[in-house]
């Protein structure tokens, strides 16, 4: 099955009832358009895919208060997101820890909890799942991305633990998309571990959703101030 056929199948499945964490009916329209055009299938729906590019959510993508890509409903409904996160918290409380309170569980995203439930347990019903998409340290899995990068990769579960699948080097096109995002994450890590404001501002400069160069220093200072209580350098 070629990429175009897979993209069509994904779109059909999305129209049948795929909903994101907030109940948004995600047809993967733009993720599938990307797949058809470039032969690469993004591993997420539009609500997540759009935030990695400057086209979809920056000011030029809004006219008359509406998103020109039809993503308005994907950007809202915080009450539904909160409800779903509470469900995940309660599920983990019962499944993994009994009824004891779990500190800071509400700070976890549903994606992390999904990995806990289905990754560590490794089951869907009676079927053992040996292959998962997990966030892991790259190592040599993608040879032309930094070894210390944290990537969401196909991984295999076995007696020796979790092993990421080995990949061919990325093409210049894909490397051009991913390398700024990887470097942004590395800078954020450096900022958090070393309390490095310069690295923090550099990370914001690389963010595809920052559209006005003039605002970067003010934005960086404000976000740095707000996040200080949560930054605990590693000694």
pLDDT in tens, 200-222: 999 999 999 999 999 999 999 99
Inside any domain, residue 29: yes
The reply to whether 63 and 101 lie within a common domain is: no
Torsion region of 17: left, alpha or beta (phi above 0 gives left; psi -120 to 50 gives alpha): left
In a domain, 226, yes or no: yes
Q: Does the residue 235 lie in any domain?
A: no
Say which range, 73-82, 129-138, 144-153, has the weakest mean pLDDT. Answer: 73-82
Residue 163: how many other CB atoms lie within 10 Å: 15
Which one of 145, 164, 183 terminates a domain? 164
Do 125 and 84 lie in one domain? The reply is yes
77-103 mean pLDDT = 66
Tell me: do 64 and 113 sit in the same domain: no
Q: Does 123 fall in a domain?
A: yes
SS3 154: strand
Q: Of 128, 143, 164, which residue sits at a domain end?
A: 164
How high does pLDDT run on average in the chain?
79
Q: Are residues 88 and 124 both part of a single domain?
A: yes
Q: pLDDT value at position 129?
A: 56
- Would you place residue 122 in the very low, low, confident or very high pLDDT band (cuts 50, 70, 90)? very low
Q: Residue 123 gets which letter from DSSP?
A: E
Co-location of 197 and 213 in the same domain: yes
Same domain, 83 and 59: no
Radius of gyration of the chain (CA): 19
Q: Which of 124, 141, 164 is the last residue of a domain?
A: 164
pTM of the prediction? 0.73
The residue segments making up the domain with residue 64 are 3-74
Number of domains, the chain:
3
Pairing of strands 131-137, 66-67: unpaired
Q: Which of 176, 174, 154, 169 shows the shortest CA–CA distance to 38?
A: 174
Residue 37 burial by Cβ neighbours in a 10 Å radius (0-12, 13-18, 19+): exposed
Phi–psi pair at 100, nearest 5 degrees = -70, 145
φ, ψ for residue 155, nearest 5 deg:
-125, 155
What tens digit of pLDDT does each residue of 27-47 get?
778 888 898 899 888 877 787
146: its two tokens: 């930094």
């Amino acid at each position: 099955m070629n990429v175009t056929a897979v993209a069509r199948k994904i779109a059909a499945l999305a129209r049948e009832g795929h909903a994101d964490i907030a109940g948004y009916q995600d047809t993967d329209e733009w993720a599938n358009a990307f797949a058809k055009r470039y032969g690469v299938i993004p591993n997420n729906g539009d609500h997540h895919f759009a935030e990695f590019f400057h086209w979809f959510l920056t000011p030029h993508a809004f006219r008359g208060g509406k998103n020109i890509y039809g993503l308005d409903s994907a950007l809202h409904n915080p009450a539904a997101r909160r409800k779903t996160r509470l469900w995940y918290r309660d599920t983990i409380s019962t499944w993994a820890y009994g009824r004891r309170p779990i500190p800071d569980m509400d700070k976890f995203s549903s994606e992390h909890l999904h990995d806990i439930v289905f990754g560590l347990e490794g089951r869907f019903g009676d079927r053992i799942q040996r292959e998962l998409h997990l966030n892991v340290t790259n190592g040599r899995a993608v040879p032309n991305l930094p070894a210390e990068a944290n990537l969401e990769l196909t991984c295999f579960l076995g007696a020796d633990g979790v092993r990421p699948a080995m990949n061919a080097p990325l093409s210049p096109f894909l490397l051009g998309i991913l390398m700024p995002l990887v470097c942004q994450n590395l800078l954020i890590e450096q900022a958090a571990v070393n309390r490095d404001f310069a690295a923090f501002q550099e990370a914001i400069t690389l963010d595809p959703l920052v559209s006005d160069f003039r605002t970067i220093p003010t934005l960086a200072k404000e976000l740095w101030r707000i996040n200080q209580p949560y930054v605990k350098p590693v000694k």
